[in-house]
Structure 1
Amino acid sequence: MTVDLIAYTQRVVPTSDKNPLDIVEEAASICYNSSMTDDYKIAKGCKASGHYSVLEHINFTFYVKDVSRALLAQISRHRHISMSCRSQRYCSEDGFKYVNPFTGEDADVFDNMMSDIDTDYQILKKYHNAKNEDARAVLPNACCTEFYITMNARALIEMSHLRLCSRAQKEIREMFTEMKREVAQVCPEVASWMVPSCEANPKYPFCPEGRGCCGRHPLLADVYKPIEKNKEVVDGNT
């Protein structure tokens, strides 16, 4: 898997602050008729208070390679993203690369299956005059692809809340881990906000996954239990 940050929002003036959060700071300062700060205090305050719209002023563009079409299907469900993806209609997939999610003997079985599919794909084209756009019907979700994806900071953070969760599939979790590492080099503040949903509010961490909870943080229902018990005591004394 390859994940590279290739572009992010910058000011026109080349000598300006290179951290894109500087643009968020300026946009947010207008909301409160305030002066910009050097440590992005206003931008950080907006994030902490849930005023996320100011984060939509900055974008990040990534180049992603050697991930599965299954991952592509998952990420395409998110909103406020722009994608340009390798086409299986115009590009030949002879001898296609693929993502093998298994290990040991299971991985060997999977490799054999992929080899058979590759053979079938080429047979359709060579002996049945199938075009790429028709032969691709036999290709697996494991088939590798590559794409460019652009999203604003708000979308990136909200996607990370879901895809960095331990319940997310390993491949897409690894991709967002790499995205976070790339973003940290140019905007450590946004990278620090790219966390699982259970840690979106670090002061009050809780898991929203119900039975799928990994145990890192308590469930929301468990967080409220002491409050409910205290309420029962108070109600009983009145």
Structure 2
Amino acid sequence: MNVELIAYSSPMPYQCGTACYFNTVYNPMHIIEQAASVCYDSEPDFVKFKIAKGCAKTGHLSVYEHAYFTFHVKGISRACLAQLTRHRHFSFSVRSQRYCNERCSEPVFPASTDEDQDGIIADAYDYAWDAYDRLIENGVAKEDARMVLPNGAPTELYISANARALIEASHLRLCSRAQQEIRNMFDLMKKEIAPLSPEIAGMMVPQCEANPKYQFCTEGESCGRHPRLQDVLATATLKQLEEADEK
């Protein structure tokens, strides 16, 4: 798997006399801070990003929609793509199995399997690609021959998303309960953003880590990092009842 950040929100170049200035290293938090400042009729803070950070703390994440990122992703499975496209605010341009020849593609193996299980999967992949090759040789259109390809077939795509969409998707996809492949992908996306905007990368965390003061798991089954929300509420209710009895 390979993830590369190829574009991000940056300001228009500006003129100063006869010189034209470009910010070659630009933190998209500047755009977010500037957009957020108008909400409160305040001067933007382009050093500490106080307004933008304050908005994040209060859940006012709409201002984070002004910053965009575009990634080039190679080597993820079609199964991972199916999960990825459930994020409605992402934009995708994906290699087409209808028009591209998928012969000799290198399939993706699950991270959770062992050597013996990989052998079983490899045999299934060999059978699927052999069937695909024979169909192509017999004149079957690529769009129909692709029906025999597995979920492990690799793909390549470009993804664009605003900072809010990335942050909120990360809450789900960096969770320990998410499948390893998509967790790895979001971890690589986070690492690509970090040198550019450590503030935005710092918000790309599992849901249980989104609020440092109140850490709990919203999943039905917790990985054990934090207690489940329903258990926290049950404990709080029991404590309230005990305190009421004492009174």
Question: Structure 2 residue aligned with 1:29, among 30, 37, 40?
Answer: 37
The 1:93/1:230 distance shift into structure 2, 3 A limit, reads same
**Equivalent position of 1:89 in the other structure:** 98
- Distance in structure 2 (CA, Å) of the matches to 1:98 and 1:201: 38
**Equivalent position of 2:70 in the other structure:** 61
Taking only the aligned residue pairs, the percentage that are identical comes to 50
Cα distance, 1:235 vs structure 2: 3.1
Question: Aligned to 1:180, what secondary structure does the other structure show?
Answer: helix
Structure 2 matches for 1:100-115, cutoff 5 A?
100-101=109-110, 102-115=113-126
- Distance in structure 2 (CA, Å) of the matches to 1:229 and 1:53: 37
Question: Aligned to 2:135, what secondary structure does the other structure show?
Answer: helix
Cα distance, 1:112 vs structure 2: 1.4
CA deviation string 1:159-218 (max 9, x = no partner): 1000001111110000001001001010100100000011111111000112x2100011
AA of the residue aligned to 1:95: C
**Equivalent position of 1:123 in the other structure:** 134
The 1:16/1:92 distance shift into structure 2, 3 A limit, reads closer
**Equivalent position of 1:79 in the other structure:** 88
CA deviation string 1:212-238 (max 9, x = no partner): 210001111232344313321343355
Deviates more, 1:220-229 or 1:77-86: 220-229
- Distance in structure 2 (CA, Å) of the matches to 1:146 and 1:103: 26
- Distance in structure 1 (CA, Å) of the matches to 2:182 and 2:239: 42
Question: Aligned to 1:83, what secondary structure does the other structure show?
Answer: strand
**Equivalent position of 2:8 in the other structure:** 8
CA deviation string 1:96-152 (max 9, x = no partner): 21101132111112111111111100111112x200000000011100000000000
- Contact 2:33 2:51 (C-alpha < 8 Å) held by counterparts: yes
Task: Tell whether 2:202 aligns with 1:192.
Answer: yes
- Distance in structure 1 (CA, Å) of the matches to 2:183 and 2:176: 8
- Distance in structure 1 (CA, Å) of the matches to 2:89 and 2:35: 20
- Contact 2:65 2:163 (C-alpha < 8 Å) held by counterparts: yes
Question: Structure 1 residue aligned with 2:226, among 217, 225, 233?
Answer: 217
Mark the runs of 5 or more structure 1 residues left unpaired by the alignment: none
**Equivalent position of 2:178 in the other structure:** 168
CA deviation string 1:63-92 (max 9, x = no partner): 000110000000001111110000001100
**Equivalent position of 1:141 in the other structure:** 151
- Distance in structure 2 (CA, Å) of the matches to 1:94 and 1:8: 34
Question: Aligned to 1:149, what secondary structure does the other structure show?
Answer: strand
AA of the residue aligned to 1:197: Q
AA of the residue aligned to 1:59: Y
- Distance in structure 2 (CA, Å) of the matches to 1:49 and 1:119: 55
TM-score (norm 2): 0.92
Task: Tell whether 2:50 aligns with 1:46.
Answer: no
Question: Aligned to 2:193, what secondary structure does the other structure show?
Answer: helix
Mark the runs of 5 or more structure 2 residues left unpaired by the alignment: 14-21
**Equivalent position of 2:18 in the other structure:** none
Instruction: Count the aligned residue pairs.
Output: 236
Cα distance, 1:8 vs structure 2: 0.5
- Distance in structure 1 (CA, Å) of the matches to 2:234 and 2:121: 47
